[in-house]
Structures are given as C-alpha cells and as structure tokens.
Structure 1
Amino acid sequence: MSAVRVRSLLRHEMRMDALVRLITAAAAGGVLTLAFEPVAAWPLAFAALALVAWATLGVGFWAATATGFVFAATFWLLHIEWLTMYLGAVPWLALGLFMSLEWALGLGLAGWFVRRGMARLAHPALLAALWAAVWVAREALSSRVPYGGFAWGHISWTQSYSPLLSLSSWIGLPALSGLVVFVSVLPVCWMLTWRFPRWRAWLGGAVAVAVWALVPAWGSVTSAQGQLRVAAVQGNANAGLFSNETPGTILRNHLDAAEAVVDEDFDVMVWPENAVDLDVLRNASARAAVTEFVDRMGRPLVLGSVTTRGDDVYNSVIVWLPGVGPTQVYDKRHPVPFAEYMPDRWLWRPLAPDLVDLVPRGFSFGQASGNLDVAGVNAGVLICFETSDSDLVRGLVSGGAQVILAPTNNADFGHSDEAAQQLAITRAQAVAAGRSVVNVSTVSSSAIIDAGGAQLASLEDFTSGAMIATVPLHDAWAPSQLMGPVVEVGALLVAAGALVQRAALRVRRGRTASDQR
C-alpha cells in the first residue's frame, strides 16, 4: 500500500466525518445492549464490536476516546437502567458514566495503538489481536478497581446462551471475551488496511469455523463425581434493603414455601440471601422458628440472614443442622459499594448527602472462604453480585468446591432486567468453572444449572415455591481455572508493553528533534 493511501486512511477520509462515527458508535452501543439479557441475541455482540471498531480504529487517541465514550454511554445507560428502581437517576448516571469513561479510555488506547500499527503496515490479524488484548486488559482492571470493580458488562456474558460458551471451560472467560472481540474486529482491520486475505488466511478461517461448529459437542470439560439432591426455596418476599415489611414476614414467607416440599426426597435445602429478615443468630423468635423447622425436616438448611458480631454487621449465609443448630457461617467478602456499604464517605457525602445517608452503616467484609461442608459435600457459596467476581469463583474451585450455591436477593430491582442478567452471568460462570450452580432468589430468577449450562430446574418469577433437582458434583479442575488468570495477565502485559513502547518512541523522537536544532 502506498504512503498516500495510508495517510488517507488515517485521516478517516474513507469513513466520512466525525459525526458519522459518533452516530455509528451510539448505534453500536444500542446493538450491544441487545446481546445481553433480556433479548440475549448473542450474535449481535459481534456486530456491535465491529461497528465500534469501524468508528474508532485509525483515529487519534482523543478522537477514539470521545467516540468510544458515546458507544459506552449508550450501552451502559441502557444496560443498567434497572438501577433507577433502587436509588433513582443519580446513582444510575454516576455508575453508567464512570463505566463509560473506563471503556472510552480503553478504546482510546486501542485506537491509538492500532493507528500506529496501520502506519507501519502491520498485519491486520496483529492489529485485531492488539485491540482484543487491550479490551481484555480493560475488563481485567474494571473487574477489580475501584472498590472491587464492576464486571456486569463483560463481553463473555453475551455468550451465556451461545454455543461458544462451552469453549470457556477450556480457555476461560477472559479469553472468550478476547476471542469474540478479535473475530469481530478482524474484518474491520482487513478493510481499513486494504489488505485482503490470501488463500492461507481463508483456510485458517475455515478451520476456525469448523472447530467452532464442534464446540457444542465438547460438552462439560469435567466429568461428574457423585450427586446431591437439592431443594431450593423462593419465598417471593419483599426483601429489599428498604423494605417496610413487619419483622419476621420474610422468614414466614420462606417457611411457608418450604413446607410444600418438606416431605420430598432431597439431601439439603437452600434459601436465598436475606431469607431471614431478623438476625437469626441473636433473635430468639427467628432462631426458634428455624430450629423447629430444621429439626422437623431432618436435613441441613442453608439460609441467608444479616448477622451482627460485636460492632460488625455481615451479609451472611449459615449452615443449620437438625438437632445441632448453626454450624458454619460465610460472610459476604465482596459487598456492593454504595449499596451494602459506603466507601470513602468523606469524599462522596459532600456531593450527594441525601443519597449517601441512605446507607448509614455498611456491611463489614467477610474474611473466611466460602467453602462450606454441606451434607458431606464441599459447597462453595457466592452471595448475589459475587457471582460476577471470577476471582471468588476460582477461589472456591481451588478450595475444593464440588458445587456452587448462589443465594441472591433481587427484590430491590422489581420486574426489571437485572435478575435475568445475573442469571446469565451465573450460567457463564457455571460452565467456565465446570461446576453446577444453585441460583436461588427471593423473587427472581431462580434456577439450578449444571456444569454444561443445562437448566435442571427453575421457578417462575415473583411466585412462591420450591424447586428440587439432582445436582451433579465435580472434583476436577477445568483448564479455565489456570487459563483465565494467565490470559488476563498476558493481556495486561501486552497493553502495558505497547504503552511503554509508544512512550519510549515519543521520547526518542523528542531527543532526535532536539539534537537537530
């Protein structure tokens, strides 16, 4: 390609003006929203990423950042609209725009790196791989910082109902995100460099498509080693953080729903997060009611309750044994910032005192592992939003978890899309980790999912009831247990290396220019 053609491409003359790119970016954000629940049209993730790549690749850092911000803001403000049901528009805007800024900076860096690569006539596959690496690196950071991160918009979640999800148990969810991004961006890189693939590239693509076609046949990467019969109860209770129910009502809802199956055949019963609306370890009436029920049932009960020890308040899951009482407690290790606790109150309160004061006292952070002995089985526990924390999932599997229990409380979000989005995340984690998951909510969406992603049982939203299923147990580690962290570290190193290389090049050019004066 001639230098004139490269300069023409870099000036974006082939894609009209900035306004067209901004409109394209906004459209891409809307399309990406449709790839997530409740529509869950997973192929649209590829289309959305191709559109935003077309709008941002080949331009400078600031132009790509601005265009990327339009894309991200459109996506985030649509994707987490359910947050307005909890605290109104201010937190929704704050979180949506913060996440948009994170995404925009990542797109700005990716666009800047690829622009330099285009100027040097780098191979389109290399450019697409670099763009994908920056995306995965940004996902890795946004999963952890600030305040424990927010992983709700990962591209891998769009594939929760795709045949590609089976691949995640081999390569991990970060690599699945990177693969989707790479495949989406590669045709755009070919187009922008005017380098059309030769027969070897077409052959490689055909082989890749053939491999993908075989993915559904691979199934779960770990074989089952035993089973556990689980009953999970959805009380259909108004268990929101600001619920005005009479104390004890939510407990009564779950006791009533559990009574319908108390004589059925199962090994353990699981209740949701906050299923007991009194401190069951300290309140005499709640403790007596649960003790009477469990002793009569004759099998273990795993329940969610807010507990207090000393000056600390915890969001807890408790194992309750017949004739014994509470034996093990897991305290939530990743409370939700600005909802379950208020980080840096000194910083945020001057900006929105009324909202900050709605959380007068936050939950303390649990320190112990979520691996609990439940009916002789090593069960890993994740509470609500913790299902999106892949570090916690890997920690449970490393700790020997044979099954994952995921009690949750979605009552604050009403009939919005939040619960369906969370269930899609939970399904992806189940397949990637090679573990069955019992996802049981106070209101919706309760389901039991095996390690291959099959739904073994479910309950209708906003109904009171119980589901019973024989859940396969797994001991072996899926390759994703190791591949996930390796891919994330590799992507961060690639992104950091590209940034250092660009910075060093600028310094060298500055010195050369200075010497020539």
Structure 2
Amino acid sequence: MTGPPAARGRVRWPWRTLLAAAGGLVLLLAFPGYDLVALAPLGPAALALAVHRQRARSGLWLGLVLGLAFFVPLLSWSGTYVGWFPWLALGIFQASYVALLGAATALTSRLRWWPLWTAALWVADEALRGRLPFGGFPWGRLGFSQTEGPLLSLAAYGGVPLVGFAVALVGTSLAAAVLALRRAWHDPPDRRAVVRHPAVRRAALAAAGALAVLLTGALAWLPLPGASLTEGGPTATVAVIQGDVPRAGLDFNAQRRAVLDNHVQRTLELAGRVAAGEEPRPDVVVWPENSSDIDPYTNADAARQIDRAAAAIGAPILVGAVVDGPGEYVSNTAIVWDPAEGPGDTYVKRHPVPFGEYIPHRSFFRLFSDKVDLVRRDFTAGDEVGVLDLGGVRLGDLICFEIVYDGLTRDVVQGGAGMLVVQTNNATFGYTDESEQQLALSRLRAVEQGRSVVVAATSGISAVVAPDGSVVRSSELFEPAVFVEEIAQRDTATIAQRAGAAPEWLLTAVGAAALLVALRPAPGRQRGRGGA
C-alpha cells in the first residue's frame, strides 16, 4: 500500500535513523578497544545510504545521529574522573561536525560520481574538526582506525588524510553498489528488464572500485620499510622507562615525589643490569610526561635525584617535567638531562590541551561546570619545534596529544629527527581505551613518516613501534616497565612528508567544489526566477 508523500517520508525516517546509529556503532568497533579495522568503511557506507537523495536538514539529523553513536562511546575516557558533563559536551560537539558532513553528503548525493565527492567531504570535515576551535581536536579520524591492513600503507603517500579518504571511498563505493542492486530488484515489473542489467553493471563497477582501493593499498606496501627497528640508518640504544604512579585518577600526582622516585628507581635498576652485563648501555633514556611534576630548576632535591639516575645510567635522560613560569603560567617541558652537565636543551609543549591544560574563557565556561577550576594554573604554549639532541641522537619529541596533529609531527621530521618520541601521561584516564587509541596514532605516524616511534607513558601504554606500524614492545597499564632497544636513526623522507598538507587541502578542495556544484540552483529554477 502507498500513501501520500508526507506519510511515506515518516515511514522512511526510522530506518534511516537506525541505519545512521548502526553506522556510528560499527565505526566504533573499528577503533582500538575493539580493533575490527575492516569494519571502518561501513561507517561512511551507512551515512551515505541513510542520507542518499535526502534534504540537507535530514542529512544534518542523520549525521548527528551517526556522530553521537560514534563519538560518545569513543570519548568516554574523557569523563572518567571529571563526570558526565565534560564527556557528553565533548562527544556532542564532535558529533556536530558529522552533522555538517551529513548535510553536505545529502546535497552531493545527487551528483554523478557522488561516492568520490562524499569520500573527499569526509577529509574536508576532519580537516575542519582538526583546526577549530582552539586548534581543533582531530581524535577519531577515519585514518586512525587503520592500525593494520592494506590501507595503512597509504599513510606513507598522503598521510592520515589519504588513509581516511581511502576508508571513506571503500565505504561509499559499497553504498553505491547496494543502491544500484536495490534499484534493480525494486523497480516495477514492467521496467525491470530495462533497468536490471545496467544497474547490476553499475553495482559491479562500484564494488570493483572498492576492491581496487584495497588492492592499491596492498601493493603500496611493497617499497615501504618493514618491521625491523635496526634497518635504514645508524642505530642508537634507547631505553624507555615507565615508572608507574601511586594511583590512577586526577590526583595521580598528589604524591609527586613518589612519581619521580619511581622513575629514578627504575632507571637505577636498569643501571644495575647494565653493570652486570644483562642489558646494553643505552645512548638515550626516555622518561614520560609528568615524570617530574616537581620543578627540578627550583627544587634542589628533585634535581639531585635526576642527577643520581643520569650518573648511574651514564646517558642523557629526556625528563618530562612541569616547570614554573613564565609568569603566572606553567610549562609542560621536556628537559635533556646530561649525566655530566645536568639540565640542557628543552622543548615546551606547543599545543596545550584546551580544558585539560588551560581553560579558554574561564569565567564563561565556569557557568556550565566548576570542573574548569581543577586546572588551577594555565599551561603556556612553546614556540619551538621539538627536535632535541641527546648525545648525538636527534629525537623528534611530541608530548601526549600532540601526536594527533599532522603539522606538529611533520615539523619534527623536517627538523631532522631520526626517530619520534611521544612522552605521555595517561593516568588521568584510568583503565580505559584512551591509551590504546593514543598508541594507534603513533602506529599511523610511524608509517606516515617512515620512522620508529618510542612511546614513554607514566602508567602505560609505553611501546616501541617499527616503521611499518607494528608494535615491537609494549607495556601493561599501571605496571612498571623498562624497554631497551636498538633503533635506527633514519633520514629518508616519505612521499607524505614531502607532500605535507597538500593531499588534505587537495581532497578538501574537491569536496568543497562538489558541494558548491550541488548548491547551484537547478536550470529550471533559474529560468523560473528569470521569467518571474
């Protein structure tokens, strides 16, 4: 039975909404914590099917539904110790970008070759989300789901944006195949003979397009580095120290001296094993972010303890410290601590986390939650790229969430880093998937930049990642750990490194151009207005 158009529209809404919600949940399963990476294209496929040939306002709603189903559980770690309001506020805000994507996808779904334009719009949407506001928060990009499989290789050619585009294109191509088959089998009987064969052919071509993307990714692995840490340049012996914290939570550093002592003690134990011939002497020792929340420049006892550890191990230590100043601010600082000369070069975190390390417009946001006052002193932003020389080893240092930003990662490699180091503290997120999600970012960056990546975490997950994105060593959460590995210092540049942000801007321009074409008035309406 058929009804009036309005009634048919009401019937369609529930299944479209359910499809969008299912798409968000399936996309979630592709990310760390579930690790079903092959499911990632089904998220873009579900959105494309749900909004196909719908109005922009319908696309807004359906995109919002998918975004909420994805981001709210993905970012649940953000509310572990601060409650539900900041978590839901962040999840809803991130989902609003997917709402815009849904509207744009609906508008372009009537264009020829719409699967291509839709995939480009995913890149454009993520580019916007990664920049606005307050420098953006590009967590949960499509590309970050691909920690293994054929599409991961594309990071070396066009960075995370190209990986995300490929994931979306596989999904939209599958959606086009489904729509073509649906048309073939649901047309009236008197038309089936006319449309079935062309529709089946279009479905086959769309499916072949999806397979071609996957095959391209598989072939793209062939010239890339493998899982070896020691190939591609002179090696350095790198030690990673995870000292652990007294307890998880926002007050992990209430016993700041205990955190520092843990990292000193683990280093002294390693020095004992080195002296006994059980471990090679490291050239570099990496401590994590917040390994010394006591400012060693102003606290002589903290400085003595770090001196003690550096002298015992006989190698420079990269110390993650919270340093007073400038003025009323504090600085999230990496300090090169030499066993003979003490503190030397430093790197100050360039991208402090809004609402985590500083509060923008504090008086305004206090109206919504008094949790903003948990950040008592705002962190200042550094202005120098994090390339540090530790005994002749040039490290590209990124502190915590900085690994999520393309430009910050690219800068340290351009500055001559032979390997990447991520100093992080995840104690404030407890036993959640945040640490695994952050490790996934390092795996993408390893392939993108053709560098090994060392992750030093206060309480886990610390890891050593090879240039092919494979995890060579990793720790457990809230357990002390020490790794010692020989790691090649590479100086080659991937295509992605040379191209910089160009692939992202190009794909964004393609998506934006398609949207402008879709917004252009139809010729009939133009003539109607002209004759009025």
Tell me the TM-score normalized by structure 1.
0.91
Q: Given that residues 268 and 313 in structure 2 are in contact (C-alpha distance below 8 angstroms), is that contact kept between their aligned partners in structure 1?
A: no
Q: Is 1:369 matched up with 2:369?
A: no
Q: Given that residues 406 and 438 in structure 1 are in contact (C-alpha distance below 8 angstroms), is that contact kept between their aligned partners in structure 2?
A: yes
Cross-structure match for 2:67:
72
Q: Is 1:25 matched up with 2:13?
A: no
Q: CA deviation at 1:490?
A: 1.2
CA–CA distance in structure 1, aligned partners of residues 208 and 293 of structure 2: 60
Q: Which runs of 5+ in 2 are unaligned?
A: 184-198
Cross-structure match for 1:326:
343
Cross-structure match for 1:255:
264
Distance 1:425 1:200, change over 3 A: closer
Q: Is 1:127 matched up with 2:114?
A: yes
CA–CA distance in structure 1, aligned partners of residues 503 and 286 of structure 2: 35
Cross-structure match for 1:387:
403
The aligned length equals 499
CA–CA distance in structure 1, aligned partners of residues 497 and 268 of structure 2: 39
Q: Is 1:170 matched up with 2:157?
A: yes
Q: CA deviation at 1:75?
A: 0.8
Cross-structure match for 1:453:
469
CA–CA distance in structure 2, aligned partners of residues 204 and 95 of structure 1: 36
- Residues 312-348 of structure 1 deviation map (CA, whole Å, 9 limit, x = unaligned): 3101111011110111110011111101000122432
Which of 442, 458, 474 is the matching residue for 2:490?
474
CA–CA distance in structure 2, aligned partners of residues 127 and 162 of structure 1: 26
CA–CA distance in structure 1, aligned partners of residues 146 and 531 of structure 2: 54
More moved, 186-195 vs 207-216: 207-216
AA matched with 1:83: S
CA–CA distance in structure 1, aligned partners of residues 212 and 23 of structure 2: 29
AA matched with 2:225: S
CA–CA distance in structure 2, aligned partners of residues 153 and 210 of structure 1: 24
Q: Given that residues 248 and 430 in structure 2 are in contact (C-alpha distance below 8 angstroms), is that contact kept between their aligned partners in structure 1?
A: no
DSSP 3-state at the match of 1:381? strand
CA–CA distance in structure 2, aligned partners of residues 13 and 196 of structure 1: 26
More moved, 190-199 vs 222-231: 190-199
Cross-structure match for 2:509:
493
Q: Given that residues 450 and 472 in structure 1 are in contact (C-alpha distance below 8 angstroms), is that contact kept between their aligned partners in structure 2?
A: no
Distance 1:328 1:206, change over 3 A: closer
CA–CA distance in structure 2, aligned partners of residues 95 and 497 of structure 1: 30
Q: Given that residues 40 and 161 in structure 1 are in contact (C-alpha distance below 8 angstroms), is that contact kept between their aligned partners in structure 2?
A: no
Cross-structure match for 1:227:
235
CA–CA distance in structure 2, aligned partners of residues 405 and 242 of structure 1: 26
- Residues 47-73 of structure 1 deviation map (CA, whole Å, 9 limit, x = unaligned): 232222211222110101101111110
What's the Cα RMSD here? 2.5
AA matched with 1:400: G
More moved, 369-378 vs 48-57: 48-57
Q: Given that residues 233 and 466 in structure 1 are in contact (C-alpha distance below 8 angstroms), is that contact kept between their aligned partners in structure 2?
A: yes
Distance 1:111 1:77, change over 3 A: same
Distance 1:13 1:394, change over 3 A: farther
Q: CA deviation at 1:239?
A: 7.3
Q: CA deviation at 1:509?
A: 7.0
Q: CA deviation at 1:160?
A: 1.0
CA–CA distance in structure 1, aligned partners of residues 7 and 19 of structure 2: 14
More moved, 295-304 vs 270-279: 295-304
Distance 1:15 1:36, change over 3 A: farther
Q: CA deviation at 1:27?
A: 1.2
Q: Given that residues 244 and 480 in structure 2 are in contact (C-alpha distance below 8 angstroms), is that contact kept between their aligned partners in structure 1?
A: yes
Which of 88, 95, 101 is the matching residue for 2:90?
95
Q: CA deviation at 1:139?
A: 0.7
Q: CA deviation at 1:494?
A: 2.2
AA matched with 2:235: Q
More moved, 358-367 vs 174-183: 358-367
Tell me the TM-score normalized by structure 2.
0.88
Cross-structure match for 2:187:
none
- Residues 129-183 of structure 1 deviation map (CA, whole Å, 9 limit, x = unaligned): 1001110011111111111111111011111122321221123210110011011
- Residues 430-469 of structure 1 deviation map (CA, whole Å, 9 limit, x = unaligned): 1111111110101111101121123232222221121111
AA matched with 1:481: Q
Cross-structure match for 2:291:
275
CA–CA distance in structure 2, aligned partners of residues 136 and 84 of structure 1: 28
More moved, 293-302 vs 98-107: 293-302
CA–CA distance in structure 2, aligned partners of residues 68 and 224 of structure 1: 44
Distance 1:206 1:331, change over 3 A: closer
DSSP 3-state at the match of 2:41? helix
Q: Which runs of 5+ in 1 are unaligned?
A: 1-9
Distance 1:269 1:206, change over 3 A: closer
CA–CA distance in structure 1, aligned partners of residues 121 and 67 of structure 2: 15
